[in-house]
């Protein structure tokens, strides 16, 4: 056969056989991703409270506490082990858990969590090592994916330490394909800490992606993360979420008022709600914050719109989130250290749109305004109301159709 004929045959095979198959498979994968995470994942992760001090007993007790406390009924489903569970690799490359900390193995733990009606998540890294220098998945992607599926893993958090000169998108795409090849539905959490701008390429590869460095349990760290979300609202939606990191609520570094602000902002941002405290000994205040059903409903709203920052003036911010049924939520944030008394025009806020040039045509007369922390409707005699905001506090209102 002539060389030109061979080349023509190669082009024919690529464009007629291979390329359509690639397109078809990618379409299916994108569809599957949306089904996996129609709303932002809710659960618990071990890192913020325990770091490397984890073991089988602690994780099982967290699952028990999630059910006993009522958190699972409020929507929290995932129990995720972060770094330091690994023991090493066998001669054939298969990864195994630290035998002293997890004497019965990971499948035993996953089965226990599943028996509670919950889902199980685990941690790995795209590099040769994890951030705590345990074995990473580089070079073992498909083998690790098969192992996780065999164990019953439902969620994988994939970090970005010891990656050398690896390309981020290619590295995460490889593990994404590996997980999908197992046939088990596994939520994939991209954790590049906002480097490489994963919101630009993560859709269809992962279900959520970290947008910033690790959160710390203090007001400045939390607010620094919130401020970095302001330009990202257009990248979030069903199956692909911006992830501003796990919640610090209940860990002691902030006040109750500040933790209420954190939870409110995360819900406005359509962020994954991954608690990071010790669920076994929560205070009543902590539990009340984490299980505020009206705030959770904002986070889990089917429209999947992340809030946009409508106004930011001298430590006073207004965030607006579009909801299903032509409803909206508004978060008034006093990020300053001083008490504020602000004038709020509810009619104007109802009309505010993420498209500033096309205000929404909604009329305040068609809505009631509900305070989602006081759990009651406001009595509005006029469109304008003065609201008092203590330092570092929020007010969250929902425009509910009559």
Per-residue pLDDT of 325-352, as tens digits, reads 999 999 999 999 999 999 999 999 999 9
Per the CB < 8 A criterion, the answer to whether 249 and 48 are in contact is no
DSSP string, 151-181: HT--EEEEE-SS-TT--HHHHHHHHHHHHHH
Check residue 28 and give its pLDDT.
Answer: 38
In this structure, is residue 68 part of a structural domain?
yes
Per the CB < 8 A criterion, the answer to whether 97 and 151 are in contact is no
Structural domain count of the chain: 2
- Give 145-199 pLDDT, tens digit per residue: 999 999 999 999 999 999 999 999 999 999 999 999 999 999 999 999 999 999 9
- What is the C-alpha separation between 308 and 268, in angstroms, rounded? 9
293 and 351, same domain (yes or no): no
- What is the C-alpha separation between 217 and 224, in angstroms, rounded? 12
Residue 27 has pLDDT above 50, yes or no: no
- Of 299, 323, 343, at which residue does a domain stop? 299
In this structure, is residue 195 part of a structural domain?
yes
Q: Is 159 a catalytic residue?
A: yes
In this structure, is residue 134 part of a structural domain?
yes
Residue 178 main-chain phi, psi, to 5 deg? -65, -45
133 and 252, same domain (yes or no): yes
48 and 90, same domain (yes or no): yes
Q: Which residues pair with 42 in a beta bridge?
A: 273
293 and 313, same domain (yes or no): no
247 and 317, same domain (yes or no): no
Q: Higher confidence at residue 273 or residue 2? A: 273
Hey, what are 291's tokens?
């299980």
Residue 50: helix, strand or coil by DSSP? helix
289 and 324, same domain (yes or no): no
Helix (H) or strand (E) holding 387, with range, is strand 384-389
Helix (H) or strand (E) holding 399, with range, is strand 394-401
Q: Apex CA 140: angle with CA 136 and CA 144, to 5°? A: 85
- What is the C-alpha separation between 359 and 180, in angstroms, rounded? 42
Question: Which of 305, 302, 243 is closest to 276 using CA atoms?
Answer: 243
Residue 67: helix, strand or coil by DSSP? helix
- What is the C-alpha separation between 286 and 192, in angstroms, rounded? 29
% of the chain exceeding 70 in pLDDT: 91
Q: Is 92 a catalytic residue?
A: no
Residue 207 main-chain phi, psi, to 5 deg? -100, -15
- Of 236, 265, 299, at which residue does a domain stop? 299
Where residue 364 sits, what CATH number does that domain have?
2.60.40.1180
231 and 316, same domain (yes or no): no
Residue with tokens 């001669």: 91
185 and 255, same domain (yes or no): yes
Which residues does 263 contact at the CB level (< 8 Å), separation at least 6?
Answer: 247, 249, 289, 290, 292, 295
* Secondary structure letter of residue 42 according to DSSP: E
Mean pLDDT along residues 375-389: 95
Q: Which residues pair with 377 in a beta bridge?
A: 370
Q: Domain range for residue 363?
A: 308-401
- pTM for this model (two decimals): 0.92
56 and 184, same domain (yes or no): yes
Check residue 139 and give its pLDDT.
Answer: 98
275 and 352, same domain (yes or no): no
Per the CB < 8 A criterion, the answer to whether 33 and 297 are in contact is no
In this structure, is residue 262 part of a structural domain?
yes
- Of 246, 264, 299, at which residue does a domain stop? 299
From the list 32, 64, 111, 214, the catalytic residue is: 214
In this structure, is residue 15 part of a structural domain?
no
Check residue 103 and give its pLDDT.
Answer: 98
In this structure, is residue 397 part of a structural domain?
yes
Q: Are strands 187-190 and 316-322 parallel, antiparallel or unpaired?
A: unpaired
125 and 226, same domain (yes or no): yes
Per the CB < 8 A criterion, the answer to whether 136 and 128 are in contact is yes
In this structure, is residue 139 part of a structural domain?
yes
- What is the C-alpha separation between 39 and 194, in angstroms, rounded? 21
DSSP string, 232-267: -GGG-BTTBEEE-----TTSSSS-HHHHHHHHHHHH
Residue 389 has pLDDT above 60, yes or no: yes
Residue 220 has pLDDT above 80, yes or no: yes
From the list 159, 245, 278, 299, the catalytic residue is: 159
Mean pLDDT along residues 64-71: 98
The pLDDT confidence band at residue 34, using thresholds 50, 70 and 90, is: confident
Check residue 359 and give its pLDDT.
Answer: 84
290 and 379, same domain (yes or no): no
In this structure, is residue 32 part of a structural domain?
no
Hey, what are 294's tokens?
């009206």
Count of Cβ atoms closer than 10 Å to residue 302 Cβ:
11
Where residue 211 sits, what CATH number does that domain have?
3.20.20.70
Mean pLDDT along residues 24-41: 68
């Amino acid at each position: 056969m002539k060389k030109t004929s061979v080349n023509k045959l190669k082009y024919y095979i690529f464009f007629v056989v291979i390329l359509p198959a690639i397109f078809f498979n990618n379409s299916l994968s994108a569809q599957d991703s949306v089904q996996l995470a129609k709303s932002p994942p809710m659960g618990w992760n071990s890192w913020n409270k325990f770091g490397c001090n984890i073991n089988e007993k602690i994780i099982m007790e967290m699952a028990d506490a999630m059910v006993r406390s009522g958190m699972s009924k409020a929507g929290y489903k995932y129990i995720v082990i972060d770094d330091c569970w690994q023991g090493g690799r066998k001669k054939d490359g298969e990864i195994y858990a630290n035998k002293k900390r997890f004497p019965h193995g990971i499948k035993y733990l996953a089965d226990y969590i599943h028996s509670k009606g919950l889902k199980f998540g685990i941690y790995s890294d795209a590099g040769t090592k994890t951030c705590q220098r345990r074995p990473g998945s580089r070079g073992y992607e498909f083998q690790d994916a098969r192992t996780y599926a065999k164990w019953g893993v439902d969620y994988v958090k994939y970090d970005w330490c010891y990656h050398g000169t690896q390309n981020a998108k290619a590295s995460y795409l490889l593990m994404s394909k590996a997980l999908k090849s197992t046939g088990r539905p596994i939520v994939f959490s991209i954790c590049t800490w906002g480097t490489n701008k994963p919101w630009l390429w993560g859709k269809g590869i992962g279900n959520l992606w970290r947008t910033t460095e690790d959160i710390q349990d203090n007001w400045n760290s939390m607010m620094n993360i919130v401020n970095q979300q302001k330009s990202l609202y257009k990248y979030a939606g069903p199956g692909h979420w911006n992830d501003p990191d796990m919640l610090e609520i209940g860990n002691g570094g902030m006040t109750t008022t500040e933790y209420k602000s954190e939870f409110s902002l995360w819900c406005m941002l359509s962020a994954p709600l991954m608690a990071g405290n010790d669920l076994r000994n929560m205070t009543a205040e902590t539990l009340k914050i984490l299980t505020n059903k009206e705030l959770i409903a904002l986070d889990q709203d089917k429209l999947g719109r992340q809030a946009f920052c409508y106004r930011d003036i001298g430590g006073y911010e207004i965030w607006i989130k579009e909801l299903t049924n032509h409803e909206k939520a508004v978060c008034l944030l006093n990020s300053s250290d001083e008490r504020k008394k602000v004038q709020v025009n509810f009619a104007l806020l109802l009309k505010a749109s993420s498209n500033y040039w096309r205000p929404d045509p909604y009329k305040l007369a068609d809505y009631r305004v509900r305070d989602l922390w006081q759990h009651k409707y406001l009595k509005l005699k006029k469109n304008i109301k003065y609201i008092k905001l203590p330092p570092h506090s929020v007010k969250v209102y929902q425009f509910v159709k009559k």
